[in-house]
Amino acid sequence: MTVAQLIFYVIAALAVAGGLGVVLARNTVYAALFLILALLAVAGVYILLASEFLALVQVLIYAGAVTVLMLFALMLTRVGDLPETMTGAQWPLAAVVSSLLMGLLVTTVATSDWPGDADGTITRIPFEQLGEALFRQWAVPFEIASLVLLIALVGAIVLARDEDDDVEESE
Amino acid sequence: MVQEHELEPETVDIGVNMGPQHPSTHGVFRMVLTIDGERVVDVEPHIGYMHRGAEKLSESMDYRAAIGFQDRTDYLAQFMNEQAYCMAVEELLELEVPERSEYIRVILCELNRVTSHLMFLGAFGIDLGYFGTSFTYGFRERERIQDIFEEVTGDRLMYAYFRPGGLAWDVPDNFVQMVRDVLPHTRQGLKDLDLLMTQNEIVAVRTKGIGAMSAEESINWGLSGPLLRAAGVDWDLRKDKPYSIYDRFDYDIPLGSHGDLFDRFLVRLEEARQSLCIVEQALDQLPDGPIMPEKMPRRLRGPEAEVYTAVEGARGEYGVYLVSKGGDKPYRLKMRSPSFCNLSALRDMTVGSYVADAVAILGSIDIVLGCVDR
Amino acid sequence: MIGIFKSMYITFATMLRTPVTIEYPAKHRDVPQRDRAFPILLWDKEVDEPFCTGCHACERACPVECMTVTMKDNPLHADEKSTRRKIVDEFWIDYGRCMRCNICVEVCNFEAIAMNNTWAGHELSKFDRNDLVLDLQQLLSQHKQDKIDAWVAE
Amino acid sequence: MEAVSQQIPLEHFLVLSAILFSIGVYGVLTRRNAVLILMSVELMLNAASINMVAFAAYASPAAFTGIIFAIFIITIAAAEVGLALAIILRIFRNRGTANVDEVDALKW
Amino acid sequence: MLALTYDVGNIWLDSLLGVLALVALMTVSALMLIWLERKISARIQMRLGPMRVGPYGLLQTAADALKLIGKEDLRPKTANRWVFELAPFAVFVPTFAALVTIPFTRDWAIAFLDLGLFYVVAVTGLAFVGFLMAGWASDNKYALLGGMRAAAQLISYEVPMVVTLVAVAMVAGSLNLSEIVLFQNRIPLFVWQPLGFFIFIVAALAELERQPFDIPTAESEVVGGPFIEYSGIRWSMFFLASYTSLLIYSLLGSIVFLGGWEWPLGTEAGLWLQILLILVKTSLFIAFFMWVRFALVRLRIDQLMSYCWKVLIPLAFLQVFLNGLVLVYGWPDGFLLLTSGAGLALAMYIIYRAVDTEPRELRMVPARGGGSSAQAATVDATGSG
Amino acid sequence: MGMTDAWVLPLLPAAAFVVLALFGPYLPRKGDWLAVLAIGSVFVLTLLIVADFTDALALQGEDFAGVTNSIQWMEVPGYLELNFGVHVDAITIVMLVVVSFVAFMVQVYSLGYMKGDARYGWYYAVISLFVASMLALVLADNFLLLYFSWELVGLCSYLLIGHYSHLRSAAEASKKAFITTRLGDVGLLIAIILLWRETGTMNIQGVIAAAEAGEVGREILTASVVLLFLGAMGKSAQFPFHVWLPDAMEGPTPVSALIHAATMVVAGVYLVARLLPLFELVAGGTELVLAIGLVTTIMSATMGLVMTDIKRVIAYSTLNSLGLMFVALGVGSPAAAMLYLFTHAFFKALLFLGAGSVIHATERQDVSGLGGLFSKMPLTGVTFAIGALSMAGLPFLAGFWAKDEILVALLENKIAFAFVLLTLPLTAMYMMRVFVLTFLGEPKEPEAQEHAHEGPPTMAVPLVLLAVLTLVTGFVVFDQVGRAMGFPGGIGEVIYLYGPHAFEFNVAVTLGSIALVAAGLGGGWYAWVVRPQLPASVMARLQPVHALLVNAYYLDALYQAIIDRVVLAGARVIAWFDRNVVNDTGIDGPAYTTGFAAYLMKFQQTGKLPNYALAMVIGIVALALVAFSLKA
């Protein structure tokens, strides 16, 4: 086991722990904090996959901005932190199905023959090249993504707006 | 639309307790804010943490001894309180105050107004968010004037210097020079504060249009003093009901127009300047002579009467209502404290504004808890 | 922005001015002559006895009732050394209660009591509040040792 | 383009991704609070991203489409979360709850 | 700093020494900065500041730190234990991690990252989690309010900050901090991009939660915000993190906008000159931040937000747009200076106009007949007389 | 400002339209100054273009075929290539001068006339749009742009006729105008598409060249020429489409002057003149034009005699003139047609503006309620008289020269010549009639005329300017005059389209026409001044004829009947089919089916999101398991 593998196992364990925390925690804020942990661990996975840029994007946007929204929402909606209301009644069935799904996926992964698997050698892609590709080859999806962001922004503002505020402002 | 409103559950309001140990409540004032996010929905002021029963205590003191309690009501504008009380007693006993005493009283009162306003200007900056800068600017100059007071009266805060009929003792020989020396410093301090705050855009956005009260509302709430004048009401007891010798000086009453925090700030700043003008004139005219009436009774025994006298304190009309049933003690003493009356309008000014504004609005009322609770 | 620049300017300007603070315990301001910290009793050096006769005038006038005075016959009067027939026997002032209103000084007919105007009168921190009740000897000691230049209003 | 050898087989990443995905599915199925469901969805998205990046790194480094896709997933997730939270907020304001099984207007 | 100059040979040992050096640097600089801030505030307010412990009170903060370490670590009974206790670390660790990639001279840094600038921004952006945790876990309304304010403010002001730095990275053509410095060579970037510089300073002030943006910790409103329930070592970690952030942003500013260890008089500065230069530039930033703290009042939360979203972000995008124009069309840098300067003027004009700066006139009613006729009947209220 | 820059011309008023339409209400004076400014500058620029044109003409002489400036708009290689551009040649220049000048005059006039109107700003916006599209129409170098602007002027005409939309009659009239012209426009569109299919180009010159080169099949060419002419008939209100023009008088009078006298209605003439080579290629093409023109001329001349509405009389006179132009085109003399068009624009605009002045002053337009206005409004009276006489063809006024030119050109065709001669006294007579009834005699409704007065200067100045032009424009037919004005070969070179065409003067024809006109005028004078009761008695005696004329030959009734009987009946059948078959069965049927099915299926739903999600995941897992088992 090399050092890299050791690091991978640690990070993977953190990610799985975070994920389990998200779905099992009895406290909503705990769940959100576990989510941050999981997201940071995924960022670590990205680093292991030699995509530092992606890792930083993950940290900046996911862990840094998306989760704050969730925390805000949790605190604003003040959803009852009562443990008995956290999990729905169908959890046993869901657990079975999820485990089945996991089994299926893992089996598929294990039984398949993947390319580039032989030596565990990966390729580091310079982020300049990434940028080139993003803005030339993928320019149209990029623009669409920005449009989607804009629309989401407007939509979120319109939706979250309080009618009372409108009245106040018009006065 | 209407239906949606009906469906909407009550917004989650948070009750926040501000005071009595909150750093921004002046003294031991406590207000319970109900806030919705950052907006103030309701304010409930709680007072009485500093109640000492000064009015009741005064009933068991003779007319001289009760002066000490006057210092302890509005403890930032003590001379004015003493002045009001002494005027009440003088009216009751029909005492004639000597000329020199009147002048010294005016000088000290106006200097006291300056110290009080300096205190306000400094503290207001803190409420707005200065990290002590405005406060030390104000205090620096206030301290110089306090030194004069200490030289004259022997105490830094609780002067107990005025007496029914005059003064406790004469001022030191170098009094005039001392005051003249300190005036440039005070002007410099006011200028510093002016430069620091008046034109600052951030101060402007924080103060303009905030906590505004119209002239009519101000009158209805019984506001007085700078608060009332900031709303544009031309009312100053020194001018409109002249007492003492205020009719001998030339000065201006500054009036605001919007009645918001910024106007209150400006009015107080300008009032401090005008007080300095009065002080200068009084120093020029200061006569020699006795400080107490010639035939001063040893024991002060009042006739059966009621009097009310009021002065224009630093915070507004400070009145003393004195009922005497004869004897050397007041039967009933009631103080009309401006802080208390001004504070009553707090809810009206605050509701609907932001938490940060609530702090600044409370600061702009410039309450003194000793005066509110007595 | 002009106002913000003005604020920056004035803060910078004051940064260059001399500080006004003094380092308190190391340096002391001069206390004014009239300063009234707490009342003490005066010592008649000519006769070598207190001025105070224990007449209770101050005790009665004190708004906060912090004084306790008892009177006795003056032994020196018997010896014809003093003109005072009566003299103070015991005198306690509770500095924890005193509100330093100067009334005792004013009502005193013998100019026997005065307000301390030294730093010794100001710095009275004690660990026990009972230590703030001063007896006659403590009240007299300052003037006795010429540490005070008593200023008594007429 | 620089080759890095870390001796981690590709399957490791894929298995991690599969586990995270299943956990996310479980969360979506069992959580009652809409915000928590959203979090579980994020987990699933991240699992997918890991998959794609892993494939990009191991299998098709020349095209690195996987990385681009991961970037788009992150972008869209940001938009989605903003919008979803706004919707949840509105539901909460209208119905006083953010529990999805109490919001059963799907059945009328 | 030894680890930075001498290659120990073992990567683990090397990193460990580097981290230790950083911790030492952080602690010492934070202590010094606190002392400096107290001194500057004292001088602005014409006080003396700490004078007793050590010469000119230099050791005052060290003494304070010792006291804080010795203090009991209080935790409110109703506080959420784990979150409460972990919150200081959640603030501290990102701050610390951000310091790793900042180069101090041409050759000195723990790690020269290709994505250095991005890394710093991304990692410092995580600090809000700690504030939110602290605010939520304290079970205190002031703390919760402060935590929410902190999170909202940090997230919002990160946007103009990132966009401005993107503008810089555009012209520099790199996200590597060292290369950005090399790119600036003789003329630092703030000359060409005054608007970006301005936005950076404002956003940094907000990220640092210093006046006029100290809303999350506003003493007179939320009584210290998220930290209200903390004491002792945990509180000092917040404090340490806050002053380390000050150091980080000052370093970042001096590297990105002031040319780091380069100076206009020559490019091949020696090691000591480099250290001196970066120290001086960083100190300029620090002094400015401290100066501002005592010269300005606090904004209100809504004003803060609208200033960010309505003024700073559009202007930051304007800067990016201008840079893009200059890059694409190869226009001279002077054009950038002109337009960016115009943008800066616009920003200042917005500040000037957005608020009601109309000088208010007080109505002066003369008392006693003629009044003080010597003076003008109406005094300009804003006049400094 | 060269000819290649002519594309600027339509853009100015178009920009004015955009600004006015979007921000009009927020501009001072609702932005009328903007419209006037735009068209004013268009006029000035037009003069510059004319100067450039004459320079080019002097330089290149007769070979000068015009300038084209075109940009490619879109291209499907090998299939479609669309260009947008301008083409400036002699005919364009004439039209440009007419359009820009008359539009300028009318807009200035409207400042006074439309003052206080509720939709003042909108009026100016639309009229700017009209000017823009009219300019684009005459400048277009290809059929597509021509068609666009063709439809746009139609739209503007529709909007402006219906300007007083609160009046039912105005709304009806606008609809009528729109629909009637649409009938012709469809022909135009089909013709354009046909020609494009055949020649593969949209370019007008290209199409003409191709047709002349014989690239277009005869049948197609014939069909497209007929269809093109249909469009021209619709726009120019030729029989049988002429019915919309009199009704269009419901619009504001300046609009009538601009659109329905000077510019839009002559678009048909312009089109035919522009495409005359095509007509000449087709057997019977010119004859068709001639016939239609003649019919229109005679019908309108007779109807003009009995109309009582001052504006309608002028409208019929317009029809009369348009018919004359088509007659000229029909005998292959576009030069005469264009000369008539040129002069007609001025005096007809003058007539309308004069009528507008009367209406503005008295607020009524029926001559039976007018009379004796001359003393109150001398300026209007004089200018109106000039216009009327010019229309009648009194010597040395503008109309005279142009009319004589047409007569000379008609000499070849005796029948047509005779018919045209017949109309001359009629025209003179009804012009005399309307003038007399309006301005002379006693006021029939005195209360209406009491406050009659001249309009403000903005109304008077255009009147005077137009009157002066009416007096002098006729003389431009002489080369000496043109040379004196700076045109190298005389203005004739400009107005006459194909090659030099000297003014032909036939003493016999001229004298004859003068005699006829004088007779007409005299007859009119006799009938309405000397013996005012005569018309009534004539009317009484010729009751059927009068009824026929007053009802405009019952054409409106005929059309109405056709619509009622044929079109609506067909529509009813289609409506029934649509409602019952398409709507109820085709659309609602599946919906009902789905709804019922959904009603049946809804009972298995819980409405809870997690359940659905779970079901989905179970489905996926099951599918995957199936796939695995199959694979295994």
Q: Tell me if C8 and E46 make a contact (CB, 8 A cut-off).
A: no
- Bridge partners of B35? B14, B40
Same-domain check for residues E199 and E306: yes
Q: What is the mean pLDDT of residues F261-265?
A: 84
Instruction: Find which of C44-48, F127-131, F474-478 is predicted with most confidence, using mean pLDDT.
Output: F127-131
Query: Taking CB atoms and an 8 Å limit, are A78 and B1 in contact across chains?
Result: no
Chains D and E: 3 or more CB pairs within 8 Å of each other:
no
Asked which of A61-70, F156-165, F381-390 is least confident by mean pLDDT, the reply is A61-70
Instruction: Collect all residues of chain E within an 8 Å Cβ-Cβ radius of residue A150.
Output: none
For B274-326, what is each residue's pLDDT tens digit? 888 888 888 888 888 888 887 777 777 778 888 898 888 888 888 889 888 87
Token code pair at residue F208: 């003409």
Nearest CA among C42, C31, C33 for reference residue C108: C42
With CA atoms as reference, the chain A residue closest to F608 would be A88
pLDDT at residue number E379: 43
Task: Name the closest residue on chain A to residue B9, using Cα atoms.
Answer: A77
Confidence of residue A76 (pLDDT cuts 50, 70, 90): low
Q: Which 8-state DSSP code applies to residue B354?
A: B
User: What's the token pair of residue F377?
Assistant: 């409004």
Return the minimum-mean-pLDDT range out of B3-7, D4-8, F119-123: B3-7
Q: How confident is the model at residue E382 (pLDDT cuts 50, 70, 90)?
A: very low
Indicate whether B34 belongs to any domain. Answer: yes
Q: Do E217 and E277 have their domain in common?
A: yes
Q: Is the pLDDT of residue F123 over 70?
A: yes
More confident residue, B80 or F535: B80
Q: Which of E41, E360, E368 sits opposite B131 (nearest CB)?
A: E41
Q: Supply the pLDDT for residue F483.
A: 65
Which segment, B99-113, E169-183, F470-484, F506-520, is predicted with the most confidence on average?
B99-113
User: Is E384 touching B (CB cutoff 8 A)?
Assistant: yes
**Which two three-digit tokens encode residue D20?**
């995270």
Q: Tell me how far apart the alpha carbons of residues F556 and F244 are, in angstroms, rounded to a whole number.
A: 9
pLDDT in tens, F270-300: 888 888 888 888 888 888 888 888 888 888 8
Q: What is the pLDDT of residue E373?
A: 40
Q: Helices (H) and strands (E) in chain A — how many of each? A: 8, 1
Which value, to the nearest 10 degrees, does the dihedral of the CA atoms of residues F84, F87, F92, F95 take?
20
Residue B155 in any domain: the answer is yes
Strand order in the sheet with B30-36: B14-18, B30-36, B39-46
Handedness of CA E281, E285, E291, E295 (dihedral sign): positive
CATH number at residue B73: 1.10.645.10
The pLDDT of F32-60, averaged and rounded, is: 84
Put simply, the answer to whether C15 touches E352 (Cβ < 8 Å) is: no
Residue given tokens 């998306």 in the structure block: A66
pLDDT band of residue F1 (cuts 50, 70, 90) is low
Q: What is the C-alpha to C-alpha distance for residues F138 and E143, in angstroms, rounded to an integer?
A: 76
* DSSP conformation letters of A9-43: HHHHHHHHHHHHHHHH-SSHHHHHHHHHHHHHHHH
Helix/strand/coil percentages in chain B, nearest 5: 50, 15, 35
Domain count, chain B: 1
Chain-chain contact of D29 with F614 (C-beta, under 8 angstroms): yes
Cα–Cα distance between C131 and C139 in angstroms, integer?
13
User: Which amino acid, E6?
Assistant: Y
Task: Say whether the E–B interface has 3 or more Cβ pairs within 8 Å.
Answer: yes
Instruction: Convert the pLDDT of each residue in A125-168 to its tens digit.
Output: 777 788 888 888 888 888 888 888 888 888 888 877 765 544 44
In a domain, B51, yes or no: yes
All residues of chain C having their beta carbon less than 8 Å from the beta carbon of residue E42 are: 19
First and final C-alpha spacing in chain F:
83
Contacts of B357 in chain E (CB under 8 A): 300
Average pLDDT, chain B: 83
Give the range among E193-207, F321-335, F434-448, F590-604 with minimum mean pLDDT.
Answer: F434-448
Nearest CA in chain F to D24: F617
**Does pLDDT of F348 surpass 70?**
yes
CATH architecture of C35-144: 2-Layer Sandwich (3.30)
D32 at the B interface (CB within 8 A)?
no
- How far is residue C73 from each of residues B33, C53, C70, C77, C88, measured CA to CA in Å? 65, 9, 10, 8, 8
Averaged over E56-67, what is the pLDDT? 87
What's the DSSP call for residue D99? B
Chain E within 8 Å of C46 (Cβ-Cβ)?
no
E302 has pLDDT over 60: yes
Q: How far is CA F242 from CA A45, A160, F297, F305, F506, in A?
A: 82, 61, 11, 17, 32
Residue F90 and residue F79: Cα distance in Å, rounded? 32
- Please answer whether residues F3 and F88 qualify as being in contact, where contact means their C-beta atoms are separated by less than 8 angstroms: yes
Interface partners of chain E (CB pairs < 8 Å, 3 or more) are A, B, C
- In chain B, the residue whose alpha carbon lies closest to the alpha carbon of A164 is B5
Higher pLDDT: B209 or F10? It is F10
Tell me the average pLDDT of chain C: 81
In whole angstroms, give the CA distance from residue F476 to residue F490.
8
E150: in domain: yes
DSSP states along B233-285: ----HHHHS--TTGGG--EEEEE-SS-SHHHHHHHHHHHHHHHHHHHHHHHHH
How far apart (Å, rounded) are the C-alpha atoms in residues D11 and A118? 11
* Cα–Cα dist B55/B78, whole Å: 16
SS3 E262: coil
User: What is the pLDDT, as a whole number, of residue A119?
Assistant: 62
Q: Which residues of chain C lie closer than 8 angstroms to B155, CB-CB?
A: 35-36, 100, 102
Task: Quote the pLDDT of residue E376.
Answer: 40
Mind spelling out the 3-state secondary structure of C57-121?
Answer: HHHHHCCCCCEEEEEEECHHHHCCCCCCCEEEEEEEEECCCCCCCCHHHHHCCCCCEEECCCHHH
Residue E370's pLDDT is: 43
3-state secondary structure of E260: coil
Q: Which residues between 36 and 95 in chain D have a beta carbon less than 8 angstroms from any beta carbon of chain B?
A: 93-95
CB contact under 8 A, B154 and C4: no
**pLDDT higher than threshold 60 for residue E385:** no
Q: What is the mean pLDDT of residues C49-59?
A: 82
Residue C69 phi/psi, 5-degree rounding, is -130, 140
Indicate the pLDDT class of residue A78, thresholds 50, 70 and 90. Answer: low
Whether E371 is covered by a domain: the verdict is no
Q: Are residues E288 and E323 in the same domain?
A: yes
Q: Reply yes or no on whether the pLDDT at F492 is more than 60.
A: no
User: Does E120 touch chain B if contact means CB atoms closer than 8 Å?
Assistant: no
Burial call E146-159: b when 16+ CB within 10 Å, e when fewer: bbbbbbbbbbbbbb
CA-nearest residue to E212 within chain C is C4
The tokens describing C102, both together, are 């100067």
Instruction: Please tell me whether residues E21 and E123 are part of one structural domain.
Output: no
User: Are B310 and B336 a contacting pair, CB within 8 Å?
Assistant: yes
Picking from B65, B137, B158, the nearest residue to C100 by CB comes out as B158
- Asked if the model's pLDDT at residue C71 lies above 80, the reply is yes
For chain E, the domain total comes to 2
Question: What's the rounded Cα separation, in Å, for the pair E187 and E166?
Answer: 19
Tell me whether F77 touches chain A (CB under 8 Å): no
**Residue E363 pLDDT > 60, yes or no?**
yes
| Residue B5: predicted pLDDT | 35
| B358 assigned to some structural domain | yes
With H, G, I as helix, E, B as strand and everything else as coil, classify residue F235: helix
CB E316 within 8 A of CB E167: yes
pLDDT exceeding 70 applies to what percent of chain E? 90
Which candidate, F338, F280, F302, places its Cα nearest to that of F501? F338
For residues B178-200, average pLDDT: 87
Q: Backbone phi, then psi, for D105, in 5-degree steps?
A: -70, -5
The whole domain housing B242 covers: 14-373
A78 interfacial to chain B (CB closer than 8 Å): yes
E157 touches chain A (CB under 8 A): no
Q: In this complex, do E365 and B204 lie within 8 Å of one another by their Cβ atoms? A: no
F542 shares contact with chain A (CB less than 8 Å): no
Looking at residue E380, its pLDDT comes to: 43
Which pLDDT belongs to residue E151? 85
Contacts of E123 in chain A (CB under 8 A): 59
Q: Do B5 and A163 touch (CB under 8 A)?
A: yes
Is residue E169 domain-shared with residue E227, that is, in the same domain? yes
State pLDDT tens for residues B323-358: 888 788 888 888 888 888 888 888 888 888 888 888
Any idea of the CA torsion for C136, C138, C142, C144, to the nearest 10 degrees? 50
- pLDDT average, residue stretch F354-360: 85
Classify residue C139 by burial, with Cβ atoms within 10 Å: 0-12, 13-18, 19+: buried
A neighbour chains, 3+ CB pairs within 8 Å: B, D, E, F
Question: With contact defined as beta carbons under 8 Å apart, do E239 and E232 qualify?
Answer: no
Collect all residues of chain E within an 8 Å Cβ-Cβ radius of residue B197.
Answer: 297
The residue from E70, E98, E129 where one domain ends is: E70
Q: Which of F602, F605, F613 sits opposite D29 (nearest CB)?
A: F613
The yes-or-no verdict on residue E384 having pLDDT over 50 is: no
Q: Across the interface, do E362 and B199 touch by the CB < 8 Å criterion?
A: no
Q: Report pLDDT digits (tens) over C88-127.
A: 888 888 888 888 877 788 788 878 888 887 877 778 888 8
- Put simply, whether D28 touches F (Cβ < 8 Å) is yes
**Domains of chain C: which residue ranges?**
35-144
Assign F61 a pLDDT band (cuts: 50, 70, 90).
Answer: low
Same domain, E147 and E263: yes
The answer to whether the Cβ–Cβ distance between A163 and B12 falls below 8 Å is no
Q: Give the whole-number percent of chain F exceeding pLDDT 90.
A: 2
Q: What's the CA gap between C39 and C152, in Å, rounded?
A: 11
- Residue E46: inside a domain, yes or no? yes
Query: Which residue segment(s) compose the domain that E318 sits in?
Result: 81-355
Report the distance separating Cα F48 and Cα F4, nearest Å: 12
Q: Which of residues 10-69 of A touch D (CB under 8 A)?
A: 12, 15-16, 19-20, 22-23, 28, 31-32, 35, 38-39, 42, 45-46, 48-51, 54, 57-58, 61-62, 65-66, 69
Residue E110 and residue E57 in one domain: no
Which residues pair with residue C87 across a beta bridge? C72
Distance CA E137, CA D53 (A): 36
A102 to chain F, closest Cα gap in Å: 10
Residue at E175 is within a domain: yes
**608-627 of F, contacting A, C-beta below 8 A:** 610-611, 614, 617-618, 620-621, 624-625
Q: What is the pLDDT of residue F217?
A: 82
Q: Which residue of F609, F611, F620, F621 is the best one to mutate when testing the A interface, meaning the one whose CB has the most A CBs within 10 A? A: F621
Which residue in the set B1, B4, B12 is minimally distant from A78, CB to CB?
B12
**CA–CA distance, C70 with B40 (Å, rounded to integer):** 60
What CA–CA distance (Å, rounded) separates F249 from F317?
Answer: 13
For residue B2, tell me if it sits in a domain.
no
Taking the Cβ of residue E213 and every Cβ of chain B, the question of whether any pair is shorter than 8 Å is answered with no
Q: State the average pLDDT for chain F.
A: 83
Contact F408, F506 (CB under 8 A): yes
Report which residue type is found at F424. L
Round to whole Å and give the CA distance between E172 and E201: 19
Interface membership of B7 toward A (CB under 8 Å): no
The answer to whether the CB atoms of C14 and B169 lie below 8 A apart is no
Q: Locate all alpha helices (DSSP H) within F497-588, ordered by sequence.
A: 507-525, 534-541, 543-550, 555-562, 568-576
Q: Which two tokens stand for residue E288?
A: 């400015």
